[in-house]
Amino acid sequence: MPNYEYKCEQCGHSFEIQHSMKEAPLVNCPKCEGRTRKVITGGSGFILKGSRTNYPMGSNLTPQCGREQSCCGRSTPCETRPCDK
């Protein structure tokens, strides 16, 4: 579930709350019961978990090496890809 940042229009209290995208936005401040508004932030970005070999071969995250080309800085292509070892 995503975190949402809110700010109270009455007392200025800023806080984060975690709730489903389907839930209605929080309306009242937990400190003063004043009206809140959702603050638009940049977010944390998109994070891929796992090793580089978990992604499709066409991906920029996967090393493109082997017999056709070198990806590890060698002047000649490798016999086997580093991820096959």
Span 11-20, pLDDT tens digits: 999 999 888 8
Angle, alpha carbons 65-71-75 (nearest 5°): 110
pLDDT at residue 56 is higher than 60? no
Asked if 62 and 56 count as a contact pair (C-beta separation under 8 A), the reply is yes
Distances, alpha carbon 54 to alpha carbons 11, 20, 44, 45, 57, in Å: 48, 28, 22, 20, 9
Higher pLDDT, 10 or 82: 10
Q: Would you give the DSSP letter of residue 65?
A: -
- In the beta sheet, which residues pair with residue 3? 18
Type of residue found at 14: S
Residue 7 clears pLDDT 80, i.e. is over it: yes
Q: How many residues does the chain have?
A: 85
